Amino acid sequence: MKTITIALLQLMPGKSIEENLQKGLDACRQAKAMGADIALFPEMWSTGYGISENPDILKQSAIPKDGPFMTAFSNLAKELNMAIAVTYLEAWEPLPRNTVCLIDRFGKPLFSYAKVHTCDFGEESRLTAGDDFFVADLDTEKGPVKTGAMICYDREFPESARILMLKGAELILVPNACPMEINRISQLRGRAYENMAAIATVNYPKGQPDCNGHSTVFDGIAYRPEEAESRDTLILETGEKEGIYRAEIPIEEIRLYRSREVHGNAYRHPKKYGLLIDTERKEPFIREDYRP
């Protein structure tokens, strides 16, 4: 396996779960026609990143992981022989979760990852946060790829991608729903570089409130033996418009690069990092709306 193909579904959501379901299924079919091995949705596709202030409406808009919405994508993944990373507002107690489910090409859900770093300074304070990160062996037509996921604000914590790398992730999927400007894109570039991992992010297009497209794919390969200088690890950045965007991720080259370069877990000293798991917070970082 030299490469795998990922399709970034930079789509404008509809006005209902039913509309998003149909548009999502159609987009996956287009992605397969473009040669995709994996189709990736933006954050919380089932609602178009809608989080109601009304607790009753919020719970009514959440869907179970084994309900008709998710089953439709599982069936389609099997039909198309293509993996689908679908995002949704997941029914959960006491409050719904912001979740991505990675479904393999046989229609089997490999993991359901709930966003760990919920934006508790805003509307995501009304959601339940996840408590772990997951990596699965994704069996594509071209071979297996160790694949993990984080969601939007998770990107801003180096620990998210670091844990995924330590669990073996070669590819990290990142559903997103926020303005992707130079600093956030730079965070993704940094996560890919320091973990020697491919990172694929898909955002909503311009026109969806607070979003502007600029979905990206980084391959994490900063140096090639045949090149005198370092290279930009960015292999795709979309514009602002709605569309399905295709990228080839050089998995075989990433594996070779990881076997010889100095980043990732090659020279870490975890025994010296005890302070990183200290739970005490001090000024100026005290926030009244922080949720442990």
Active-site amino acid positions: 43, 115, 152
51 Cβ contact list (under 8 Å, min separation 6): 44, 58, 89, 123, 124, 126, 127
Name residue 9's beta-bridge partners.
244
> By the 8 A CB rule, do 39 and 84 touch?
yes
269 Cβ contact list (under 8 Å, min separation 6): none
Q: What are the Cα distances from residue 98, in Å, to 7, 112, 114?
A: 21, 10, 5
Q: Spell out the long-range contacts of 258-265 with Cβ–Cβ below 8 A and sequence spacing 24 or more.
A: 258/170, 258/196, 261/196, 261/222, 261/223, 263/193, 263/194, 263/195, 263/196, 264/165, 264/194, 264/195, 264/196, 264/197, 265/165, 265/166
Length of the chain: 292
- The single-letter DSSP state of residue 37 is S
Cis peptide before 284 (omega within 30 of 0): yes
CA–CA distance, 273 with 20 (Å, rounded to integer): 44
Instruction: Count CA atoms within 13 Å of residue 230 on its CB side.
Output: 8
Chain centre to alpha carbon of residue 229: 30
CA–CA distance, 100 with 45 (Å, rounded to integer): 9
